[in-house]
C-alpha cells in the first residue's frame, strides 16, 4: 500500500490543526526560560506569543516584577503564554505558573486551534506547577494563584502535567512521596471509582 507518510503534510492544514512550533526561535525560548528558573537571575517571568499568523512561538517580553508585572503585558487580540516563577514563603523552591492567555478579541477559530497547544507548551517549559486559564487581567489574581500553589490543589488542565518530571533539587525528596501525589492530584484507586 501507499507509505504511511501521506503527502497531506505538504498542504497547509485546514483550521490551524498544525501544532505549536518551537523550532524557529528555540534558542531564544530556552534562554528566556532558563533566565526565569535560574536562581541567580532577577528575571522571574517571560511571556510568549506567536509570530504573526503562524504557529511559531516567540518571546514577547520578560521582566523581574512577578505576576503583577506579567499581567500588564497581555493583549486582548492575542493568544499568549506567561511563564512565571512564584516564590512561596513556606517553600524552599519556587513554583512555576503557566498563564494560558486567550484574549477576548481572538477569533474563535484561533482559540480552538491554540487550545491544543497548551499541553505542548507545558511540556516544553518543564516544571509547570499550575496552569491558569485567563482572558482578562482579573483572571490573574496573584493571591488566588498563591493559594492554589501552597495548598497543592493545582487544577491540572491536561494529563501531560501528570508526566512532568518534578524538580528534585537539593532536598532530593523521593519522587513519589505523599507531597507529590498531592501536587499532582493523582486520583487514588478508591476515588476514581466514584461516579
**What is the rounded CA–CA span in Å between residue 47 and residue 74?**
8
pLDDT of residue 162: 38
pLDDT of residue 51: 93
Residue 187 pLDDT:
52
pLDDT of residue 36: 96
Q: What are phi and psi of 77, to 5 degrees?
A: -100, 15
Contact 148, 130 (CB under 8 A): yes
What is the reported pLDDT for 18?
58
Q: What is the pLDDT of residue 134?
A: 95
Q: What local confidence, expressed as pLDDT, does residue 166 receive? A: 41
Residue 194 confidence (pLDDT): 52
- All residue ranges of the chain with pLDDT < 50 are 5-17, 153-186, 191-192
What does the alpha-carbon distance between residue 61 and residue 47 come to, in Å, rounded to a whole number?
5
At residue 61, the pLDDT reads 97
For residue range 135-150, list pLDDT tens digits in order: 999 999 888 888 888 7
CA pair distance 183, 155, nearest whole angstrom: 9
CB-count burial class (<10 Å; 0-12, 13-18, 19+) for 96? buried
Residue at grid coordinates 512561596: 88
What's the start-to-end Cα distance of the chain, in Å?
A: 45
pTM for the whole structure: 0.68
- Quote the pLDDT of residue 146: 83
Q: Which residues of 141-161 are buried (b: 16+ CB within 10 A; e: fewer)?
A: eeeebbebbeeeebebbbeeb
Amino acid at each position: 500500500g501507499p507509505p504511511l507518510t501521506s503527502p497531506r503534510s505538504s498542504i497547509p492544514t485546514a483550521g490551524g490543526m498544525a501544532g505549536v512550533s518551537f523550532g524557529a526561535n528555540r534558542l531564544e525560548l530556552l534562554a528566556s526560560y532558563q533566565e526565569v528558573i535560574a536562581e541567580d537571575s532577577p528575571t522571574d517571568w517571560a511571556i510568549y506569543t506567536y509570530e504573526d499568523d503562524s504557529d511559531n512561538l516567540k518571546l514577547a517580553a520578560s521582566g523581574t516584577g512577578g505576576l503583577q508585572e506579567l499581567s500588564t503585558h497581555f493583549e486582548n487580540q492575542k493568544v499568549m503564554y506567561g511563564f512565571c516563577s512564584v516564590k512561596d514563603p513556606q517553600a524552599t523552591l519556587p513554583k512555576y505558573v503557566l498563564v494560558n492567555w486567550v484574549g477576548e478579541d481572538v477569533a474563535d477559530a484561533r482559540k480552538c486551534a491554540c487550545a491544543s497547544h497548551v499541553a505542548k507548551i507545558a511540556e516544553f517549559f518543564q516544571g509547570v506547577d499550575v496552569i491558569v486559564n485567563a482572558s482578562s487581567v482579573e483572571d490573574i489574581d496573584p493571591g488566588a494563584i498563591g493559594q492554589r500553589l501552597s495548598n497543592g490543589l493545582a487544577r491540572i488542565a491536561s494529563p501531560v502535567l501528570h508526566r512532568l518530571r518534578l524538580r528534585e533539587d537539593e532536598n532530593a525528596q523521593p519522587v513519589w512521596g505523599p507531597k507529590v501525589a498531592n501536587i499532582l492530584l493523582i486520583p487514588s484507586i478508591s476515588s476514581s471509582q466514584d461516579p
